[in-house]
Structure 1
């Protein structure tokens, strides 16, 4: 009897103590689609001030979900009836399912007063979303899907997105054109490539085939919940043009750790800084000097704030010209950014040019790296000191170089004949310069003589009789025929110098001249003309090349290899057209 009484008392005590701690987890619903967000609410309520929470909440295995957000809030109050302190902790967790079907969510654990409490596990059901044709073509449906595997990144850290097209009819893949990557203020998007992959007939998505259309990098520039907008494309058919959209993707962008250096702006990745004098000549007071600040590495290279040259009373600074040699890498944009500053020394003697302090965040080590300042030491000379140190031959070379710079042309790069300063006297250089000047003068005289003779011949030649309309049109076309080889040489020079803006402007001039040669005002009319004049293969190649030129022109990241391949295609096509 005594043992039964003790057992009843212990049972009653455990029931009372269990009622003092309420620990539960509830979802917002039990049935979801693969595009829904699962919101879990975890409530821990402590009735009494004698309870001590020894560990934070330990979540179950959530590897079958993507955690896109979480947050906690606590509150406390005094119960007037029982005079007991009640403390409540509420935690919200947002999940995105990775798989379909029945998925179990395990128990949440917490330790209070050396005792482990847990919630009851439960199941949620994930079903597939009913797909609808965005192209408004029920028989030949086409779908775009944007896939981002790594959806949890730091601010300004890139993640790679893959754009795929799905369709039951493989013939639809060649009709997908005009891909437009997403644009939004809180993300920066840079294309990796637009190369189409081989068609995969068994994509695992129903009975549809798939093909990779493009790959691009997404740089979120703010922390928190970021949604990448859909990618758009068009499906071109003989009857109409339909616009299709991909899905949206949610990113969980982590805030950068606390304790960043004062010199940290927004550089995320791994970088190095180098500052050097681009000119090999002596530095003269009140004369411009080209100083380059080079930032190299891999990360958000094209979007970060570059370190500037610090101001100083010893010199004047002008706004830099920014050039880049970058390409997509594995963890960001890799390459180098060159900031070409014009510096004018204000005094003679030693001058120290310093950059601003620079720091970056390394996502691999999760640490900030402070590179500090970079310094370039220059020794400026006065005009009198420079003049006294020059020999007579060096003065002649300077005058020759100045003349060659004024007559430079895109066909003959006469600046390549410029004479560099030498410590020794070379008769060959002097004679070469004199020969060039004499050659230019003789060429000028011969050109004037040829012009006079041509004028006399025109005056003496009788007018030709008028021919037929076809003969006249042929004669006009011959006169208007464009010498495309001049364009090709000029474009080659622009490609080598990296002046891509001028490059695409000259390409447009070349296209306009060739169209005028055949009396075609628009590109579409010219394509139809080529189809009947040169064949459908040349017309299709002209259309594809026009699209490729537009994509390269407006691409934020241009590579020398891509421009070189584009120039080869331009030379090949326009050489055929102008024959």
Structure 2
């Protein structure tokens, strides 16, 4: 009997150890101060190949925290001793507490083989929390708020920040001036625009709001980086006050390992080229201009540019930097030109090489190695330069030398110096102007003849009967009716050209004209008109589309897909209204 009991126990132990699921959650500590970040590690271990995870890991209620970062990894291997498949999932969460005191962390849930597994809840203690109101205020009840939606970025990768002002008194918005962006050693800030948006009456805490500025923040170190407050002045007739916004913490991810050894700090998507900007032939011991051109989008204004490598074949000097950049969707885009002065030291073929260059692409999350760019030049001696000149160039040179050195008292011969590079012909310009004037006169004569002919035709046509008042009103309405298809075609062109500002301006103009067809001055009156004559569904669709247009209009970053969907909705609704 004892042997049977031991046999049964051994079988049960082997079955239990063969397959099982373990899920645990571990904080880095249980007591935090107000400035600390709560780091949670959730580990899920599945032992056995017969287990199938049916749902992703479900988190508890984190309404008392701001989730500022997350990451996960998985690993699978086979235990050689038991020949059992083991799968491990590890998830990290970074939380910012909103309140102090004892806070309960609930259970994490996961469903495996139709069974729910969960972690045990536990408590953490927050000793004190840094209060973060919407903004600091003045006696005029004006608030500033800095909003950063994407708070988890790579090092040297930008994130968009939006500065918004709040107040119950709309008149205070025009008093806010002199906006000063944050400055700090571990971040770089570039303004996007300072265009004020339209006033939104439904802001935070029943206050109206308005967007004051948008800017890009480039963190240049990994870890938790705090973006300092933005300040502005509120000017009135009696005094001048300064207000500051809230601070925002960023979770800056470290760039992945495995970067090329010559990688510096370029993050984005770039191209490098090199060319000779000097038009003259390359001569030994004579300077030439070699330009290293970097184009793309990313931290273009802050990254280290590739230089020209030193060589015994030439001498290179510090470059002059010229840039043409503008804010883009994923960073600063444009081009930067590094103009180097290079002096060849030897005769013959010379290879001018740039430094090796690599960058990190955040979209593909990998490093891109562009290597070196090479410019091959053939340096000639002074004698070879003279021999390579054409007969006309030699005659011009001899004539210029003679006229520069000999000046007779009768005739100032230096005025007859040959200008080799002068190619502008005034006769051709005057001829072209005359042809254009002639065509313009012909066009005016044609329009005058056409206008006289139209008047003669009108006089020969008998006048139509006046008709009733209702008929006359219908005729006037038909004459005022807008050809809505012309607006649709124009909006489609603006959408394809990514001219979103003009797109929304045209939508507002089209809406005003369509409302004018029905003698409705405001959007609210027009909605009521549509509800009475087109039905409640069309009126509700008009109201929803108007709100959607305002949201897309003032979005910090506009996507082509969102504008495409908005364009289709506009065409669908206004086609029904204008029938």
Asked whether the 8 Å contact 2:266–2:300 carries over to 1, the reply is yes
Partner of 2:555: none
Asked whether the 8 Å contact 1:109–1:119 carries over to 2, the reply is no
Assess, with a 3 A threshold, how the Cα gap between structure 1 residues 363 and 248 changes in structure 2: closer, same or farther. Answer: same
Q: Secondary structure at 1:206's aligned position in 2?
A: helix
What's the offset of the Cα at 1:350?
A: 1.2
* Partner Cα distance (2:66, 2:27) in 1: 18
Deviation digits for residues 385-409 of structure 1, max 9, x if unmatched? 2223333344269779999xxxxxx
* Partner Cα distance (1:258, 1:128) in 2: 35
Partner of 2:154: 154
Deviation digits for residues 304-332 of structure 1, max 9, x if unmatched? 11000111111100100000000000000
Indicate yes or no: 2:59 matched with 1:61: yes
> Counterparts in 2 of 1:417-496, with a 5 A limit?
none
* Partner Cα distance (1:351, 1:381) in 2: 11
Q: Secondary structure at 1:392's aligned position in 2?
A: helix
Asked whether the 8 Å contact 2:23–2:119 carries over to 1, the reply is no
Assess, with a 3 A threshold, how the Cα gap between structure 1 residues 309 and 28 changes in structure 2: closer, same or farther. Answer: closer
* Partner Cα distance (2:256, 2:270) in 1: 19
Asked whether the 8 Å contact 2:30–2:125 carries over to 1, the reply is no
* Partner Cα distance (1:212, 1:401) in 2: 67
Q: Secondary structure at 2:198's aligned position in 1?
A: coil
Assess, with a 3 A threshold, how the Cα gap between structure 1 residues 45 and 312 changes in structure 2: closer, same or farther. Answer: closer
Q: Secondary structure at 2:397's aligned position in 1?
A: helix
What's the offset of the Cα at 1:348?
A: 1.3
Assess, with a 3 A threshold, how the Cα gap between structure 1 residues 341 and 396 changes in structure 2: closer, same or farther. Answer: farther
Partner of 1:335: 334
Deviation digits for residues 206-244 of structure 1, max 9, x if unmatched? 121101110000011111111111111111112221111
- Give unpaired runs (5+ residues) of structure 2: 73-89, 406-416, 427-579
Partner of 1:289: 288
Q: Secondary structure at 1:284's aligned position in 2?
A: coil
Partner of 1:170: 170
Assess, with a 3 A threshold, how the Cα gap between structure 1 residues 222 and 40 changes in structure 2: closer, same or farther. Answer: closer
- Normalized against structure 1, the TM-score is what? 0.54
* Partner Cα distance (1:401, 1:206) in 2: 83
What's the offset of the Cα at 1:68?
A: 3.3
Asked whether the 8 Å contact 1:135–1:243 carries over to 2, the reply is no
Q: Secondary structure at 1:174's aligned position in 2?
A: helix
- Give unpaired runs (5+ residues) of structure 1: 73-89, 404-416, 430-579
Deviation digits for residues 267-323 of structure 1, max 9, x if unmatched? 111111110011111111111100100000000001111000111111100100000
Deviation digits for residues 508-561 of structure 1, max 9, x if unmatched? xxxxxxxxxxxxxxxxxxxxxxxxxxxxxxxxxxxxxxxxxxxxxxxxxxxxxx
* Partner Cα distance (1:286, 1:156) in 2: 41
Partner of 1:83: none
Partner of 2:250: 251
Assess, with a 3 A threshold, how the Cα gap between structure 1 residues 183 and 420 changes in structure 2: closer, same or farther. Answer: farther
Asked whether the 8 Å contact 1:37–1:94 carries over to 2, the reply is no
- Provide the aligned C-alpha RMSD in A: 5.2
Assess, with a 3 A threshold, how the Cα gap between structure 1 residues 197 and 110 changes in structure 2: closer, same or farther. Answer: same
What's the offset of the Cα at 1:29?
A: 8.8
> Counterparts in 2 of 1:319-330, with a 5 A limit?
319-330=318-329
Partner of 1:232: 231
Partner of 1:197: 197
Partner of 1:107: 108
* Partner Cα distance (1:320, 1:208) in 2: 52
* Partner Cα distance (1:130, 1:224) in 2: 21
Asked whether the 8 Å contact 1:348–1:382 carries over to 2, the reply is yes
Asked whether the 8 Å contact 2:30–2:123 carries over to 1, the reply is no
* Partner Cα distance (1:266, 1:167) in 2: 41
Asked whether the 8 Å contact 1:30–1:123 carries over to 2, the reply is no
* Partner Cα distance (2:122, 2:418) in 1: 81
Asked whether the 8 Å contact 2:136–2:245 carries over to 1, the reply is no
* Partner Cα distance (2:104, 2:347) in 1: 76
* Partner Cα distance (2:294, 2:418) in 1: 30
Partner of 1:373: 372
* Partner Cα distance (1:341, 1:282) in 2: 17
Asked whether the 8 Å contact 1:134–1:243 carries over to 2, the reply is no
Assess, with a 3 A threshold, how the Cα gap between structure 1 residues 36 and 110 changes in structure 2: closer, same or farther. Answer: farther
Asked whether the 8 Å contact 1:39–1:92 carries over to 2, the reply is no
Asked whether the 8 Å contact 2:396–2:420 carries over to 1, the reply is no
What's the offset of the Cα at 1:428?
A: 8.2
> Counterparts in 2 of 1:9-88, with a 5 A limit?
23=24, 39=38, 60-61=58-59, 66-68=66-68
* Partner Cα distance (1:302, 1:418) in 2: 45
Deviation digits for residues 360-399 of structure 1, max 9, x if unmatched? 1111111111111111111111112222333334426977
* Partner Cα distance (2:149, 2:135) in 1: 25
Indicate yes or no: 2:358 matched with 1:348: no
> Counterparts in 2 of 1:512-527, with a 5 A limit?
none
* Partner Cα distance (1:402, 1:328) in 2: 52
Asked whether the 8 Å contact 2:104–2:121 carries over to 1, the reply is no
What's the offset of the Cα at 1:265?
A: 0.9
Asked whether the 8 Å contact 1:191–1:217 carries over to 2, the reply is yes
Assess, with a 3 A threshold, how the Cα gap between structure 1 residues 234 and 354 changes in structure 2: closer, same or farther. Answer: same
Indicate yes or no: 2:393 matched with 1:395: no
Assess, with a 3 A threshold, how the Cα gap between structure 1 residues 27 and 297 changes in structure 2: closer, same or farther. Answer: closer
Partner of 1:280: 279
Asked whether the 8 Å contact 2:135–2:244 carries over to 1, the reply is no
What's the offset of the Cα at 1:420?
A: 5.8
Partner of 2:94: 94
> Counterparts in 2 of 1:494-513, with a 5 A limit?
none
- Normalized against structure 2, the TM-score is what? 0.54
Assess, with a 3 A threshold, how the Cα gap between structure 1 residues 92 and 325 changes in structure 2: closer, same or farther. Answer: closer
Indicate yes or no: 2:213 matched with 1:214: yes
Partner of 2:138: 136
* Partner Cα distance (1:130, 1:314) in 2: 61
What's the offset of the Cα at 1:121?
A: 5.1
* Partner Cα distance (2:132, 2:107) in 1: 29
Partner of 1:242: 241
Asked whether the 8 Å contact 1:27–1:38 carries over to 2, the reply is no
* Partner Cα distance (1:270, 1:45) in 2: 37
Partner of 1:182: 182
Asked whether the 8 Å contact 1:23–1:45 carries over to 2, the reply is yes
Assess, with a 3 A threshold, how the Cα gap between structure 1 residues 329 and 398 changes in structure 2: closer, same or farther. Answer: farther
What's the offset of the Cα at 1:95?
A: 1.1
Asked whether the 8 Å contact 1:69–1:225 carries over to 2, the reply is no
